[in-house]
Structure 1
Amino acid sequence: MKLIALCLGACLSVVSLAANASSTTYVRYQHLGKIGYGKLVEDSIYPLKGDIFSDSSLSSRKMSVRDVNLLLPTKPEKVFVVQAQKQLGETQANDYQFSFKLPSALISKGVPIQIPTDAKNIEYSSSLVVVIGKQSKNIDTKQASAAIFGLTVGGDLTEPNWLQRDAHSLRAKSADGFAPIANEIVRGLDFTRIHVSSKINGKAINDDALAEMTYSPAEVVSELSQYFTLKPGDLIYIDLPTHTVEVKDNDVVSVSLNGIVKVENKIMF
């Protein structure tokens, strides 16, 4: 039994390495009062010149991660939340459920999430987050693939009692800190090999292959573009229903993408 477990672990490591082999990681940072993007290689950042979403080049100089302040990955105009779990045999657009968050709900990893005092219970859904790289409207899935800059992970916090009480999801999903997100953006990942794993207080909640449970990022982006103009830096949280848990005071929740990007925050009531 122990041998089987070791073999499975080795196989997963090989799959993870293969999936991440051609990927590139970027971060947004502040250094000496200036904000920029850079390519992250281990503990070093290589600054980018120009606009990361349209025309940029890599600088030869590098900085240590320890010497900069890592920021939210983008300054989005819009932050969408999409529930897009596939049901066997169903491929219709009405499988999608859309909602949104205010950009002010975004919070970086490591920052405690202070829950409002009148919240009764909080649900945390782990999410794959799509980062838009091109302005897009009414696009098909092929065009949507080209419109995606990269991927990261985050958490979708919801207060279900507020959701029932209000006529909309604004308060229930957009309170300050209700959208934790990793600092890194990853490009070049193969969707068929993406795994998102979640933990609460160090205990695994789930580890899922996204290709088996959700529409592809391109399908989600295409569907959203039928209703909204997507702009560079916009974020789309794709919720993973099997990764939804109710959180309590002092819980620490983490979400990881292929083991290379992680967001982790402490919940405080």
Structure 2
Amino acid sequence: MTDTVFKLEQPTAAIAGGTSRFPIRRVFCVGRNYAAHAREMGSDPTREAPFFFMKPADAVVAAEGTLPYPPLTGDLHHEIELVVAVGGTGVNLTPEQARSLVWGYGVGVDLTRRDLQAEAKNSGRPWDWAKGFDASGPCSPLVPVQQTGWLETGRIWLKVNGELRQQGDLADMIYNVAEVLSHISHSVALRPGDLVFTGTPSGVAPLAPGDQVTAGVDGVAQISFHVGARPKAV
């Protein structure tokens, strides 16, 4: 066994209906994978190939209780997403082959510091600070695919303080789950423990301290959490 200078805790996600946990290896996120959202972000979805960004594995936290309002922003946005948990290894997969890698599904929110993202876009810089901060990926317990079946359709939605903000259907994805996994596998090897946030419908909007977020994907899960207070300036 390799001796290390200190011990690191393995990031994990809960699994619905049990005490076992899903070890998180990497977190891939698909940008602008719903046509209406692509348009609201100023893009033409008919001309875009899928593109990806990443979050740290430990950015994924339980979507419950009170989540911290992050520092360095005054414009925190919600983006509801279907999360796919990968349970196998694959490289250069066809969409049909990629289906076999799906271990299960979850409901996640890609929290985004939109003002930092806008600054990065305008400067031609990476989005990391806008997308990969602490607790930026709240997620439900994961549900094995044997319980949900293969998901191609289903309502996806998000409310803030009871007001419906986002609503769509998984069928509205520009690239479906199998196609997304296939595209990733042509760039890097997919491996057990990878999570994929698959994109968000239109209606992304700011969150304020004290807001209650409820969201879900039909046939998978429903989540609920509050947004904490803004951090005090140092």
TM-score by length of 1: 0.68
**8 Å contact kept, 1:152–1:186:** no
Number of residues of Structure 1 aligned to a counterpart in Structure 2: 204
3-state DSSP of counterpart to 1:204 = strand
Q: Does 1:120 align with 2:74?
A: yes
> Larger deviation: 78-87 or 118-127?
78-87
User: Partner of 1:159 in structure 2?
Assistant: 113
Q: Which has the larger radius of gyration?
A: 1
How far 1:36 sits from its partner (Å)?
11
> Which of 126, 130, 133 is equivalent to 1:172?
130
Q: Structure 1 260/78 Cα, relative in aligned 2: closer, same or farther at 3 Å?
A: closer
Q: Structure 1 114/122 Cα, relative in aligned 2: closer, same or farther at 3 Å?
A: same
How far 1:77 sits from its partner (Å)?
1.4
State the alpha-carbon separation in 1 of the partners of residues 220 and 152 from structure 2. Answer: 16
**8 Å contact kept, 2:108–2:197:** yes
Larger strand fraction of residues: 1
User: Partner of 1:85 in structure 2?
Assistant: 34
Q: Does 1:108 align with 2:62?
A: yes
**8 Å contact kept, 1:80–1:101:** yes
How far 1:86 sits from its partner (Å)?
4.7
Q: Give the partner amino acid of 1:200.
A: V
How far 1:85 sits from its partner (Å)?
2.5
State the alpha-carbon separation in 1 of the partners of residues 28 and 94 from structure 2. Answer: 19
Q: Does 1:75 align with 2:29?
A: no
User: Mind listing any 5+ residue stretches in structure 1 that lack a counterpart?
Assistant: 1-34, 46-67
Percent identical: 23
Q: Structure 1 205/164 Cα, relative in aligned 2: closer, same or farther at 3 Å?
A: closer
User: Partner of 2:5 in structure 1?
Assistant: none
How far 1:129 sits from its partner (Å)?
0.5
State the alpha-carbon separation in 1 of the partners of residues 141 and 14 from structure 2. Answer: 11
Q: Does 1:210 align with 2:170?
A: yes
3-state DSSP of counterpart to 2:157 = strand
| C-alpha RMSD of matched pairs (Å) | 2.7
State the alpha-carbon separation in 2 of the partners of residues 229 and 260 from structure 1. Answer: 26
User: Mind listing any 5+ residue stretches in structure 2 that lack a counterpart?
Assistant: 1-11, 37-44
How far 1:260 sits from its partner (Å)?
4.6
State the alpha-carbon separation in 1 of the partners of residues 66 and 194 from structure 2. Answer: 24
- Per-residue CA deviation, residues 176-222 of structure 1 (Å, 9 max, x unaligned), is 11100001324143433322121111222233221133321001000
How far 1:75 sits from its partner (Å)?
2.3
**8 Å contact kept, 2:15–2:141:** no
TM-score by length of 2: 0.77
**8 Å contact kept, 1:198–1:243:** no
Q: Give the partner amino acid of 1:161.
A: D
- Per-residue CA deviation, residues 34-83 of structure 1 (Å, 9 max, x unaligned), is x998773xxxx4xxxxxxxxxxxxxxxxxxxxxx6xx8x53221101102
Q: Give the partner amino acid of 2:175.
A: Y
**8 Å contact kept, 2:143–2:220:** no
